[in-house]
Structure 1
Amino acid sequence: MSNTDNQIHAIVHYEDDYVQPLILAALKARLPPEILVLLNSDSEIPSPNAKVLQWRQYEALNLDDASAHPATNLINAYIIRKALIRKHYLSTTVAHWLTKNPGSIVKSHVKPSVEFEVDYAEFLDDALVEAFELRESFEKNADLPESEREWWILKPGMSDRGQGIRLFSTEEELTEIFEQWEEELPDSDDEAEHSDDERSAAAGTSGAIMTSQLRHFVAQPYVHPPLLLPEPFSSAGRKFHIRTYVVAVGALKVYVYKPMLALFAAEPYTAPGTSESGDVNEELTAHLTNTCLQSGEREGSVHAFWSLPSEVCGLPARDWKEDVFTQICKVTGEVFEAAARSMSIHFQPLPNAFEIFGVDYLVDAEGQAWLLEINAFPDFKQTGDDLSGIIQGLFEDVVTVGVAPFFHLEGSDAASEGTESMVKALDIDLGRR
Structure 2
Amino acid sequence: MSTTEQMVANLFRKLLPGCIVLESNYYPIGSSLKNCAENDLIVIFDDHIFIIEVKAGSYTYTSPVYDIDSHMSSLKTLVGKADSQAVRTLNYLKSSKIAKIYDKNKNEKFSIILNDYIEIATFCITLDNFNEFAAKAEKISFLTLNDTTIAISIDDLRVYQNYFESPSRFLHYIKQRKRAAKNDRLSLNDELDHLGMYIEHNVYSITANNMAEGKLHWHGFRENLDEYFSSLFNGLGGVKKPEQEIPTRLIEILDLLDKNSIKNRSSLAIYLLDLASDAREELSSQIDYMLQRQVEVGRMLISSTFGDVRYSLLCHQDSLKKLTDDYVRDYILSTMVINQEESRLELHLHFSKDKRLTDLEFRYWSDSDIPSQRIEELKVKGEEYAESRIMSYKRQKGLKKIGRNEKCPCGSGLKYKKCHGR
Q: TM-score range by the shorter chain?
A: under 0.3
Higher relative contact order by CA 8 Å / sep ≥ 6: 1 or 2? 1
TM-score (norm 1): 0.26
Structure with a larger share of its residues in helix: 2
Bigger radius of gyration, 1 or 2? Answer: 2
